[in-house]
Amino acid sequence: MAAAQVLRSEWTKIRSVSSTVWTLGLAGVVTIALGMLISILSRNDYDSLNAKDRLTFDPTYISFAGMSLGQLAMIVFGVLVVSNEYSTGMIRTSLAAVPQRGTLLFGKVFVATLLALAVGLATSFVTFFAGQAVLGPYRAGLGDPGVLRAVIGGGLYMTLIAMFSMGVAAMLRSPMLSLGILMPFFFLISSILGGVSATKKIGRFLPDQAGSRIMQVKTPFDDDTPYGPWGGLAIMVAWVVLALLGGYALLKKRDA
């Protein structure tokens, strides 16, 4: 099957499964709603900040506070895109139609990534403008130094979270097992490693902690992270590449 036909086929598969489409919509709604809520709370709390905290007050990053929960839906989307065919048994039909396993996997990842990128960028821009509208006099402008980079970076971050999840799902095949590992990894292990002083230097190299740097405009005074916004995004990209290569290697090696 030609590459163009594979892409059309994968687009049809994603579009026909309502759960994958709903998860993308949920990612946007949750990120925007929670970002506005945190922005409201931050605006009300601004007067109580000391002079040092006001200097590092980052209205752009505050508006992205909902990303930590919105990425949950992106993880689910990435897992479902890859593992749905395994749970339904359709993977055998797909491999029969496309014997080139790399073409099948990366065609699926390519289509899903474009969709995640479109939703991620739209969500990021809406989240930013909604959050800044709520912050009022403390808001940042899109033309301020570093802000456009952070907003575009927010969309890239959501996309990379979905891609990493696709790679993990390709390795594990089971949606329940994939989610059972990814959810604790991002919402428990990463938080613990990043919050404990003894493991903080390790935690900052995990994909979510490194990638989230791209959304920061101002850096706290006590931050000694050895990389900047683009360096953090590069670390996240490296994680994604490893996950996808691992998924491809196992798909190529084992039976469906």
Q: What is the pLDDT of residue 251?
A: 86
| pLDDT score at 256 | 55
pLDDT at position 90 is: 76
**What pLDDT score does 1 carry?**
59
Q: How many residues does the chain have?
A: 256
Distance of alpha carbon 67 from alpha carbon 157, whole angstroms: 9
Higher-confidence residue: 197 or 236?
Answer: 236
255 — pLDDT class (breaks 50, 70, 90): low
Secondary structure of residue 65 in the 3-state scheme: coil
Write the DSSP assignment of 147-211 as a string of letters: HHHHHHHHHHHHHHHHHHHHHHHHHH--HHHHHHHHHHIIIIIHHHHHHSTTTHHHHTTSHHHHH
Task: Tell whether pTM > 0.85.
Answer: yes
pLDDT interval class at 223 (50, 70, 90): confident
Q: What's the confidence (pLDDT) of residue 247?
A: 93
Q: Are 66 and 127 in contact (CB under 8 A)?
A: yes
Give 201's pLDDT tier (boundaries 50, 70, 90): confident
Among the ranges given (6-10, 45-49, 220-224), the one the predictor scored with the smallest mean pLDDT? 220-224
45 — pLDDT class (breaks 50, 70, 90): very high
Read off the pLDDT of residues 75-128 as tens digits, 9 standing for 90 and up.
999 999 998 887 776 777 777 777 788 888 888 999 999 999 999 999 999 999
Q: Which tops the pLDDT comparison, 166 or 12?
A: 166
Q: Residues 116-160: pLDDT tens digits?
A: 999 999 999 999 999 999 999 999 999 999 999 999 999 999 999
Q: Kindly tell me the sign of the dihedral angle through the C-alpha atoms of 144, 157, 186, 33.
A: positive
> What tokens appear for 202 in the block?
């390790």
In the chain, how many domains are there? 1
**Backbone torsions φ then ψ of 218, nearest 5 degrees:** -115, 140
Higher pLDDT, 85 or 186: 186
List b or e across 22-59, with b for residues whose CB sees 16 or more CB atoms inside 10 angstroms. Answer: ebbebbbebbbebbbebbeebbeebeeeeeeeeebebb
* pLDDT (0 to 100) of residue 88: 73
Residue holding tokens 């919105």? 70
Averaged pLDDT of the chain: 90
Residue 167 — very low, low, confident or very high, per pLDDT cuts 50/70/90?
Answer: very high
Domain that holds residue 46: 3-253
Percent of the chain at pLDDT exceeding 90: 64
Treating both helix axes as pointing N-terminal to C-terminal, what angle do 229-253 and 101-135 enclose, rounded to 10 degrees? 150
Contacts 24+ apart (CB under 8 A), 246-253: 246/167, 246/170, 246/171, 247/82, 247/105, 247/166, 247/167, 247/168, 247/169, 247/170, 247/171, 248/101, 248/102, 248/105, 248/106, 248/170, 250/170, 250/171, 251/101, 251/105, 251/170, 252/101, 252/102
